[in-house]
A and B are shown apart, each in its own frame.
Chain A
């Protein structure tokens, strides 16, 4: 470096943006590297977050986008607690992750809805637009949203090929199946981009650049096992409380996803249509268990964050609280449907609660690619890359 030329081209806009989305303390860092040493997850050969802090101070956006280390951080806050400058590296890395999501996933404008307070108005409007259009089409006109027998339990029934679908089921399918496909395509594009960037950044020799299937075959399952056990997350010291609620939340989502898949198969394919009796139906038991777990873990996360903020080891950014509240709303409205459905005097609002739940789920689905929720895909990718990198390093050393 001493004899070479270092091209310094600070991106002032990127710095400003980072400061706006939770990295406001980035400039306080004086590069002592306490953070990289106290971090229980920081590797020997490529420690973080000290390096990421100086790259961020200079606005070297590209280099940060191409750095898996940003995702290997679980924001336990050890670095922030010991930081002698109150530069809060943990929060800065959180902001950097948001920036990566924004830059890597196509159709950036959708990202802005999730990271600005005015987006709270836009997102439900988008969700409602799609849901109402689908409702108009499938119910063949506007149903009465104050009568559960009109919406969702009214409307015609469709026989398409071998499927026998009531209007409400078809409505959900036409909204959420394309939405899911859209999200998967967007994320696949983003992941493809960052993976290639990681490979270039870490100068992986051509001989070790495996194809996608080899990578998936060798590293995807270990990465998933690691994520399910939260092995890395549990190494965090100062906010160790975060690992368990987060792990339970992951399990809750998995249980709910399985429930949804079963319902989809039983209702859409086999024609056993809902509503099912919550007391006697085993799939309902599973769903309710998942729902309770979701509510418990999200509330535990909220309580823990409150405490951590009081001791300044974690800061809750807009993107954090948006996702937390969204998950809370989904949990509450999900149970809300069950509750209001079972109380005859509240029957008139069943449709509205149902609609609210659908809107929230729509926002969450889209958010898998555009909100903080995208860490699901990005972190999994980074963990995979980390396993891959360690593995080929070992192979190269032999």
Chain B
């Protein structure tokens, strides 16, 4: 608890902060009483400090010498800033100061006032790097929590949107905001998310990815937690009854539950005519299947089942493969690993060097391995088509890489039979995943006819608008 003597309180705060260099303590007179304004360097806006704190304090009549009167003026008459709260212990002072507040302590009063004058540097709202769309908002989430909250609130100006903030992480004391639409979301689901966040065992939270595993249900391959950089997508998920989580310091907001089919739905689908949405969604599903299965399928057909390939194509493939020294499986594995190396290198390097890697990897090496007869052109083509197809479903990029490799081995070693068993096991594995009681594969399996209006196809807005969306209903009446 705070003491009456100002000096003792400031000493205690300084000791708690281990005499940190960025701790600033400014002593002044408010009326006839000594006060101290404590803040953290770089966390506050100095102009607001001068205008909202120092100016009102210096304007107090010097004749007033009663500390209690000064305290009453600060909390009542003067104030000062919109975001104000009392603090009653050195620990609370430290928490407030490190969060960008300044704290006013008055000699003779066992209480302080934290004034919100945050002013740290933040990135301005820009277009998100991922999930780009042709039409629609160009705004993306940034690292500052309150900016992100305002981006959400600006899109739902209704009391239905409930934002609940909390602080997690013993060391980082990161602010997290849980968002939900009151009448559309399941209260139990929200409580479960809040419970999981409150019991988060991490002491340092630097990114939303740190929180994500604690909201998931431990499926080894797929995540049942969605992540988006787009406020419009985030709001649309909230409107479907999901629970959203925004984490301070991360431009990615999370939402639960997430279903498998959502990986194939983009915001652009809703601004185009339904027929185009249907077409492009089918393309995405096809691209996903091509991406994971094509190289493995090719290896299986070439090694074990050439009779399935049309004759003319088979002759071309045989001619190309006869020039290479390696087996189809070896070629396939080498090329896939090589592609993954290039992809990883391209991701981590600065963009100007990344282009050079693309040119060396894609054109020079790609061309030379074929002309030198190390790899057959059809195999290179299969890997290239599979890789490009994988980019269409960017949310599943890592899973696709891994699955493609497994299918290459299964198809190359055991033919279509191995491919079948691997695909079946993958299918069972995906079907076993549940996200907060919702089957991950719904509304495909269990099947929901009602949800089909916005799964493969998207029906027109006129029809879609007739009923309010309700994810729990969509996933709930399947197979009944």
Question: Do they bind each other?
Answer: no
B residues sitting closer than 8 Å to A (CB atoms) are none
Chain A interface residues toward B at CB < 8 A:
none
